Amino acid sequence: MTEYHDDFAPTHRPEPYFIKVVEPFRLKSAAERTRAIRDAGYNPFLLRSEDIYIDLLTDSGTAAMSNRQWAMMLEVQESELGSAASRLFVERCREVLGFRYILPTHQGRAAEHLLSQAMIRPGQYVINNMYFTTTREHQERAGGVFVDLIVEEAYDPRSVYPFKGDIDPKKLVDFIAKHGAERIAYVCIETNVNMAGGQPISLGMTKEISAICRYHRIPVIFDATRVAENAYLIKQREAAYADWTIKEIILELMAQGDGCTISAKKDVLVNIGGILGVNDPGLYERCAALCATFEGTPWSGGLASRDLAAMAVGLEEMTDYDYISSRVEQVHYLWSRVKEAGVPVVEPPGGHAVFLDAQAFLPHIPQEEFPAQRLAAALYETAGVRGMERGIVSAGRDPSTGRHRGSKLELVRLTIPRRVYTYSHMDVVADGVLDVFRHRERLTGLRMVYEPPTLRFFTARFEPR
Ligand SMILES: Cc1ncc(COP(=O)(O)O)c(C=O)c1O
């Protein structure tokens, strides 16, 4: 951990790397931005990348890779069978995550697919802490019945509860008592819950949940996509672990479970890749067979050796304290700037993004008129900044009734890519948000004019009312 001299306190801890490669971009004119968002059906997903000034759509696959990652990618031989990259990848996963059996996949959702198919019998419940779109989709495709048992604080954007990602142990115990442990396929615990505002789980409560599950012989599976950021927030917010290293916290957290799925495109600092880790050899065999059918060989998951090599290095870099602290603190800087100006945000700040509370930001727009979608479109039009709706559109429709599922949270996610933007970019984003906030009464709701059958937030189109 880098310490500054006692007398020297810079305004903020600088990014702990220097920039070797740059990609120029420019702000399009106001008229061009208005045209671009209209042509995109007011869905920022459908904007062309050349029309975007600062892209906070996602932290997925958008990280800048390090010189060590690029060097390793060039160094490895491409021969797939028994490649050194594959061995290095598996070794590094075991070392950082602690699971015995490892499968690479091309993305996180591919790992979710294999695991859901291997673990869920039709009609079984799968317990989650809130939901992630693809995770729930795969659980339901495998015939599972999705259940959300996150703590109630997670649904209150104003609550400053430090671990809004935790599962509520009372809800879990009641659920098991009512339905029986044998009807539960597994408990799926997401680290730094994305849809709740990047809110962490605590190690203390995870141990409690894991003990309940072990007693009832219910497997615990982590969605460990943002496990390093979660470990940093545990170090900050859970006194018992303040002196632990990021690596120690990750291992202790994962030791509470039986397996994990990971989208390596986030904390693992690569542009493509996923990981599935389990302890049970039988489960591994079933997943490996599915991997061969849907992904590629069990040692490559359909990825090139260079992608495995980049993940192996990324797994190590994500646990570096200087990196992970500057990453999360940059997110907190943006959060503080908008929060201090009175903009409603999800509190406390999370790990990977700042979430604007669109319902409080635009109280005059009812949820059926998509306030978060409207706000995301307005931020692009005002400042060229692309964020993403995480509310009623993302929640989709209930497959049995066909109705909007509805969402207790109606948010716009400003997701910060890793090692890509600097503090001055954060200032531009904050200025853009404040500008929209000043003129918020002018915004009207939207009407959805095109809706795809699943995961509609990617391609739905809207028009102003
Ligand atoms: C928490 C979480 N789980 C799973 C996924 C799916 O991963 P991928 O996009 O790599 O398929 C994502 C990202 O989109 C995510 O944020």
User: In this predicted model, what pLDDT tens digit does every residue of 137-160 receive, in sequence order?
Assistant: 999 999 999 999 999 999 999 999
CB distance 273 to ligand 1 below 6 Å:
no
CB distance 109 to ligand 1 below 6 Å:
yes
| Separation of CA 455 and ligand 1 centre (Å) | 13
| Separation of CA 11 and ligand 1 centre (Å) | 33
| Separation of CA 35 and ligand 1 centre (Å) | 31
Burial per residue of 353-365, b for 16 or more beta-carbon CB atoms within 10 angstroms, e otherwise: bbbbbbbebbeeb
Question: Domain 30-59+320-464 belongs to what topology?
Answer: Aspartate Aminotransferase, domain 1 (3.90.1150)
pLDDT at res. 264: 98
Nearest-atom number in ligand 1 for the CA of 107 is: 10
Give the residue, 110 or 398, on which the prediction is more confident.
Answer: 110
Which of 130, 194, 227, 260 maximizes ligand 1 atoms within 8 Å of its Cβ, making it the mutation to test the pocket? Answer: 194
pLDDT at res. 66: 97
Tell me which residue of 173, 265, 257, 189 sits closest to 223, measured CA to CA: 189
CB distance 265 to ligand 1 below 6 Å:
yes
Beta bridge partners of 127: 147, 187
pLDDT at res. 11: 77
The model's confidence at residue 4, banded by pLDDT at 50, 70 and 90, is low
Asked if residue 2 has pLDDT above 60, the reply is no
CATH class of 67-317: alpha beta
Question: Is 30-59+320-464's fold the same as 67-317's?
Answer: no
pLDDT at res. 458: 94
CB distance 135 to ligand 1 below 6 Å:
yes
Tell me which residue of 12, 4, 7, 80 sits closest to 427, measured CA to CA: 12
CB distance 223 to ligand 1 below 6 Å:
yes
CB distance 132 to ligand 1 below 6 Å:
yes
Question: What is the pLDDT averaged over residues 103-107?
Answer: 97
The model's confidence at residue 452, banded by pLDDT at 50, 70 and 90, is very high
Which of 131, 134, 229, 272 maximizes ligand 1 atoms within 8 Å of its Cβ, making it the mutation to test the pocket? Answer: 134
The model's confidence at residue 407, banded by pLDDT at 50, 70 and 90, is confident
φ, ψ for residue 26 (rounded to 5)?
A: -140, 155
pLDDT at res. 12: 76
Asked if residue 279 has pLDDT above 60, the reply is yes
Nearest-atom number in ligand 1 for the CA of 273 is: 10
Asked if residue 235 has pLDDT above 80, the reply is yes
Asked if residue 83 has pLDDT above 90, the reply is no
Question: What is the pLDDT averaged over residues 393-400?
Answer: 89
The model's confidence at residue 14, banded by pLDDT at 50, 70 and 90, is confident
Lowest-pLDDT choice from 2-11, 45-54, 289-298: 2-11
Encode pLDDT of 26-77 as tens digits: 999 999 999 999 999 999 999 999 999 999 999 999 999 999 999 999 998 7
Instruction: Kindly report the protein residue whose alpha carbon is nearest to atom 12 of ligand 1.
Output: 263
| Separation of CA 346 and ligand 1 centre (Å) | 21
Give Cβ neighbours of residue 252 (< 8 Å, ≥ 6 apart): 203, 241, 244
What CA–CA distance (Å, rounded) separates 42 from 47? 9
Question: What is the pLDDT averaged over residues 200-216?
Answer: 98
Asked if residue 399 has pLDDT above 90, the reply is no
CB distance 225 to ligand 1 below 6 Å:
yes
Burial (Cβ within 10 Å: 0-12, 13-18, ≥19) of residue 213: buried
Question: What is the pLDDT averaged over residues 201-212?
Answer: 98
Instruction: Kindly report the protein residue whose alpha carbon is nearest to atom 7 of ligand 1.
Output: 108
| Separation of CA 113 and ligand 1 centre (Å) | 12
CB distance 263 to ligand 1 below 6 Å:
yes
CB distance 60 to ligand 1 below 6 Å:
yes
Give the residue, 215 or 1, on which the prediction is more confident.
Answer: 215
Encode pLDDT of 326-368 as tens digits: 999 999 999 999 999 999 999 999 999 999 999 999 999 999 9
Question: What is the pLDDT averaged over residues 185-194?
Answer: 97
pLDDT at res. 81: 64
Give Cβ neighbours of residue 303 (< 8 Å, ≥ 6 apart): 104, 105, 106, 272, 273, 296
pLDDT at res. 8: 80
As given in the structure block, the two tokens for residue 423 are 């503090």
CB atoms within 10 A of CB 400: 6
CB distance 133 to ligand 1 below 6 Å:
no
- All structural domains of the chain with their residue ranges: 30-59+320-464, 67-317
Question: What is the pLDDT averaged over residues 396-405?
Answer: 87
| Separation of CA 446 and ligand 1 centre (Å) | 27
Which of 60, 62, 191 maximizes ligand 1 atoms within 8 Å of its Cβ, making it the mutation to test the pocket? Answer: 60
pLDDT at res. 184: 98
pLDDT at res. 80: 62
